[in-house]
């Protein structure tokens, strides 16, 4: 059985947009250009539509595509504004909304999904503030996605804050809580344990994972643990990137750009404590993104600087990874999504 993987990319050198590649018989094969798009660095999809970051000259925003019967995609529309594009998009199927986080502009945006699958601007919020790190000159929204209770969690790398928003049915955003992460940690991405009360926050600048308790009554986060994704003796540059949690909540995975590894953690029964159990090389440079396959038997890593994918086998009982293959060409790849 073959699994189709969507790949978002930069288009600064050789890439032309959004690609697909197939996983079959423990092998990644048949890389193919799916959609010509300028800098589709992040995307989200459902059975009918695909929504992607887009760049259009000096403007940036979100593009919408409809999936056709033959598996190709037809452009519907795009919504852009002057300035750099977002770095994250996510679908809210319940409210029929799209969320975007814009790193360069420090803006959180919501878009309404129209009847034909196209998008229109619903609301936007400008974050403010900065941090002590040289990369924290101002707000840098980096992640916006749903909480288990259908609110919106937003990570801002520039001001060391994780915001919680209520969202109305028409996309209006109302801040209800704000968690201050450790100074210069640079909150980048967040994932939730399946129990709905524990979250794992990855700091890009500190390379730490923060275990947080999430209060569904108030939307507040409280810090429980801090653990590094790096070996104690590693002192060179590193930037934390993607973080994932297994469906059973037993294992957390995080990618290191610089150390060029995946860090694997085992969770306690309640999810409140992480223990590092493995570092494994990604066999490439700058693992911007990765994900577990839907059956969680494999992990696919996107290495941005070396234009390659790496495929690992995953043991469900131990959470540990083993290399299957490396050097699978994918140009400027920075996002992994499964159809």
Tell me the per-residue pLDDT of 198-256, one tens digit each, with 9 for 90 and over.
Answer: 999 999 999 999 999 999 999 999 999 999 999 999 999 999 999 999 999 999 999 99
Answer yes or no: is pLDDT of 97 > 90.
Answer: yes
Q: Where do the H-state alpha helices sit in the chain?
A: none
Residue ranges making up the domain that contains 55: 41-228
The C-alpha angle 112, 114, 118, rounded to 5 degrees, equals 95
Q: How far apart are CA 175 and CA 194, in angstroms?
A: 24
Q: How many CB atoms lie within 10 A of CB 320?
A: 15
> Which pLDDT score, from 0 to 100, does residue 125 have?
98
Given pLDDT bands bounded at 50, 70 and 90, which one contains residue 1? Answer: confident
User: Is 217 inside any structural domain?
Assistant: yes
> Which pLDDT score, from 0 to 100, does residue 295 have?
97
What is the average pLDDT value for the chain, to the nearest integer? 98
User: Is 55 inside any structural domain?
Assistant: yes
Q: How far apart are CA 271 and CA 261, in angstroms?
A: 23
**Of 139, 140, 48, nearest to 86 (Cα)?**
140
User: Is 29 inside any structural domain?
Assistant: no
For residue range 262-318, what is the model confidence (pLDDT) as tens digits? 999 999 999 999 999 999 999 999 999 999 999 999 999 999 999 999 999 999 999
> Which pLDDT score, from 0 to 100, does residue 134 have?
97
Share of the chain above pLDDT 70, in %: 100
* Average pLDDT, integer, range 69-74: 96
Burial class of residue 258, CB neighbours in 10 A (0-12, 13-18, 19+): middle
Domain harbouring 163, CATH code: 2.130.10.10
**How many separate domains does the chain show?**
1
Q: How far apart are CA 97 and CA 91, in angstroms?
A: 6
> Which pLDDT score, from 0 to 100, does residue 174 have?
98
Q: Compute the Cα dihedral for 78, 83, 88, 91 and give only its sign.
A: negative
> Which pLDDT score, from 0 to 100, does residue 26 have?
96
- In order of 13, 114, 153, 261, 287, the CA distances from 160 in angstroms are 32, 34, 13, 24, 22
* Average pLDDT, integer, range 183-203: 98
State the pTM of this model: 0.98
> Which pLDDT score, from 0 to 100, does residue 339 have?
87
Strand partners, 203: 187
User: Is 118 inside any structural domain?
Assistant: yes
* Average pLDDT, integer, range 132-149: 98
User: Is 309 inside any structural domain?
Assistant: no
User: Is 299 inside any structural domain?
Assistant: no
User: Is 295 inside any structural domain?
Assistant: no
User: Is 65 inside any structural domain?
Assistant: yes
Share of the chain above pLDDT 90, in %: 99
Q: What share of the chain is helix, strand, coil (3-state, %, to 5)?
A: 0, 60, 40
């Amino acid at each position: 059985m073959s699994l189709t993987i969507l790949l978002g990319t930069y288009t600064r050198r050789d890439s032309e947009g959004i690609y697909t590649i197939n996983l079959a018989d423990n092998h990644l094969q048949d890389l193919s250009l799916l959609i010509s798009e300028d800098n589709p660095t992040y995307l989200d999809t459902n059975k009918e539509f695909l929504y992607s970051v887009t760049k259009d000259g000096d403007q940036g925003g979100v593009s919408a595509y409809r999936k056709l019967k033959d598996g190709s995609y037809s452009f519907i529309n795009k919504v852009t504004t002057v300035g750099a594009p977002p770095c994250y998009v996510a679908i809210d199927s319940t409210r029929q909304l799209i969320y975007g986080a814009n790193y360069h502009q420090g803006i959180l945006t919501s878009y309404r999904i129209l009847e034909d699958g196209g998008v229109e601007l619903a609301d936007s919020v400008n974050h403010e503030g900065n941090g002590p790190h040289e990369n924290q000159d101002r707000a840098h929204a980096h992640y916006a996605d749903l909480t288990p209770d259908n609110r919106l969690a937003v990570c801002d790398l520039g001001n060391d804050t994780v915001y919680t928003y209520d969202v109305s049915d028409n996309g209006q955003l109302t801040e209800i809580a704000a968690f201050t992460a450790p100074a210069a940690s640079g909150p980048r991405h967040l994932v939730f344990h399946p129990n709905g009360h524990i979250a794992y926050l990855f700091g890009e600048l500190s390379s730490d994972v923060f275990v947080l308790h999430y209060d569904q009554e108030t939307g507040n986060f409280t810090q429980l643990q801090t653990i590094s994704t790096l070996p104690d003796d590693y002192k060179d540059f590193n930037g934390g990137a993607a973080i994932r949690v297994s469906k059973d909540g037993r294992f957390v995975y995080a990618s290191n750009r610089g150390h060029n590894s995946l860090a694997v953690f085992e969770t306690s029964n309640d999810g409140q404590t992480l223990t590092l159990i493995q570092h494994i090389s990604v066999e490439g440079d700058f693992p911007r993104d990765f994900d577990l396959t839907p059956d969680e038997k494999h992990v696919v890593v996107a290495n941005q600087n070396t234009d390659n994918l790496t495929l690992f086998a995953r043991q469900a009982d131990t959470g540990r990874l083993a290399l299957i293959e490396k050097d699978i060409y994918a140009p400027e790849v920075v996002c992994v999504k499964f159809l």
